[in-house]
Chains A and B, each alone.
Chain A
Amino acid sequence: MITLTEVHKKYSSEVTIGPVTLEIPTGGITALVGPNGAGKSTMLTMVGRLLGIDSGTIEVAGYDVTSTASKDLAKIVSILRQENHFVTRLTVRQLVAFGRFPHSKGRLTTTDEEIISRSIDFLDLAELEGRYLDQLSGGQRQRAYVAMVLAQDTETVLLDEPLNNLDMKHSVLMMQHLKRAAQELNRTIVIVLHDINFAGHYSDYICAMKHGKVVQFGTPERIMNDEILSEVFETPVQVIDGPNGPLAVYY
């Protein structure tokens, strides 16, 4: 469970995040949606303690992210940012192996190797594990990064726009992988999404943000609704019944 209490972050007199008070339940996928500049990524990075907060408290699984030692937190919550450029030349397996660092401090045991193999297999990367990252396509590379945070074996996984730069097929595959990770590996996954229909179909909860504040939080059935979406995205949205559940139409 992730609990945010009166979280506040000030950038300038115009740009502030919060105060945000929110409870994200354990298990399942929670999608953060909202217009550009709503503070979705900022909130995610604050939960993942990559960015400090000005006031309030954030707790992940009962641990305060500002006061808990970073090395302990690394076993509880993992975060993957949007832009990942490494100067280091790594193979897929070497990258995924880094995810075990909080547990093994760089000395991999056979258990670590098993978990690494499992994460790689989980994302269908077994055949690519010896390849270097710069030899992969964007979708494969994104999967390798996700495999790394899964290998970290944390209860909570935060992903900042993992569908960015992925085509239709790879977006769907990625969401299916994440859904499976949430169900089969019992992870709590919080994910920033731009496509409301992906959020509506794959997530268990949707958190809508606007102007640095949480404006709606609930199940997709509740959020996928004309008025709520039109108000959140400040553009007319119509929700229709699609073959696999509600579909937002906005173009």
Chain B
Amino acid sequence: MAPPRTTPKLPGKSLFNRASGALPTKKTRTRYWVVFSLMLALALSFSFGLLAWDNPMPVGSDGFWLIAQMRGSSILTMAIVAFCQAVATVSFQTVTNNRIITPSIMGFESLYIAVQTASVFFMGAAGVVALQGIWQFTLQVAIMVVLACLLYGWLLSGKLGNIQIMLLVGIILGAGLGSISTFMQRMLSPSEFDILTAKLFGSMNNADMSYMPVAIPLILIAGFFLISNSRKMNIVALGRDTTMNLGINHRTEVMRTLFFVSILMAVSTALVGPMTFLGFLVATLAYQLADTYDHRFVFPIAFLTGFVVLSGAYFVMKNIFYAQGAVSIIIEAVGGITFLIFILRKGRL
């Protein structure tokens, strides 16, 4: 069998130090936990800031908590959106083996826009109201998940089964739905269009707290599966051949992951509207910050980054620039610019 180790020990490198693992050296470990604590501290201080800033009551009094509670709902929404976008994007990038795409391009957002536009187009301003309510929310999530699963199932099972084609079809479907929406928007009256526009910018204020009993269990289940599957995801990230060589059924993993990703994306989109570049921004930053391949360490950082970006942007826009509505636009702009810089620097898709 194998010969005894013949390599002489390198100076200062004992056998004990020869450990594998996501964070192999002391330096990377320290760095990771410093970054983690920093992000956690930022997240907590932004949440506290959002609750307490401009709160006329003294901290700790009953009145303070009453006001804080009302503001708390938007913090909960941010946490949910950050979680959905972060976990979904990181997982999606892993199974597609591509670090620059986001699940939003699979047509979720266009579908959301098309549904919203169609409701206003066919039912007028009353249509927006008709789309509110827990059943409508559930239905909207269900439609998006079913559509995504049909697309994945159909495109990944066929003879041409490959992820590139699936992405391409997703983008084309999205573009098609987008044109239909634009066409309908053209024919709306200005006041109806105004109502619609307010719905089409991703906004934390779109979220209705009555949706939470459906949204939270859904994302907990999907999130639990994706995060607990981290060790397998580390392998799937190496591509199909290596994954299969190591004894994992690549197709099953990809399909299962895409199913849960579609749930997360559908919940996030149905809750607050389109957030095209948030996921990309968060995942890219998370990989830079965590500096490891291991999903067990990337997921928490991605979630915290997402929350810090969202809450930070809200805090700054609300309390410094008094322009709360522009937050998602700002995030999209920053995310989009990051995306462009990333592509230009990397020079390829």
List residues of chain A with CB under 8 Å of any chain B CB: 48-50, 69-75, 78-81, 84-91, 93-94, 96-99, 101-102, 105-108, 112-113, 116-118, 121-122, 126-127, 129-130, 149, 152, 184-186
Contact = CB atoms under 8 A, between A and B. Distances in A.
B331 to A, nearest CB: 25
A73 to B, nearest CB: 7
Contacts of B291: 89
B21 to A, nearest CB: 7
B248 A70 contact: yes
A94 B20 contact: yes
B186 interface: no
B246 A108 contact: no
A70 B244 CA distance: 7
A94 B247 contact: no
A130 B291 CA distance: 14
Given A85-B239, A98-B238, A121-B7, A48 B245 contact: yes
Interface of B: 1-3, 5-7, 10, 15, 18-22, 24-25, 93, 97-99, 231-232, 234-235, 237-242, 244-249, 291, 293
A117 B245 contact: no
Given A49-B244, A50-B245, A152-B246, A121 B6 contact: yes
Contacts of A75: 247
11 contacts: A69-B247, A86-B239, A86-B242, A87-B237, A90-B293, A94-B22, A99-B246, A106-B232, A113-B20, A121-B5, A130-B25
B247 A108 contact: no
Contacts of B247: 69-75, 101-102
A98 B10 CA distance: 24
A221 B45 CA distance: 76
B99 A87 contact: yes
Q: Which of B2, B93, B244, B245 has the most CB of A within 10 A?
A: B245
A232 B249 CA distance: 37
Contact of A113 (B5, B18, B97): B18
Contact of B19 (A72, A86, A113): A113
Contacts of B234: 88, 98, 106
Contacts of A97: 20-21
A99 B20 CA distance: 12
Contact of A50 (B19, B93, B244): B244
A126 B7 contact: yes
B245 A74 contact: yes
A98 B247 CA distance: 11
Contacts of B241: 50, 79, 81
A185 B238 CA distance: 26
Contacts of A94: 20-22, 24, 293
Q: Which of B6, B7, B232 has the most CB of A within 10 A?
A: B7
B109 to A, nearest CB: 24
Given A79-B241, A185-B2, A98 B21 contact: no
A101 B246 contact: yes
A81 B242 CA distance: 8
A86 B5 contact: no
Nearest to A185: B2
Q: Which of A71, A93, A98, A113 has the most CB of B within 10 A?
A: A98
Contacts of A98: 234-235, 238, 242, 246
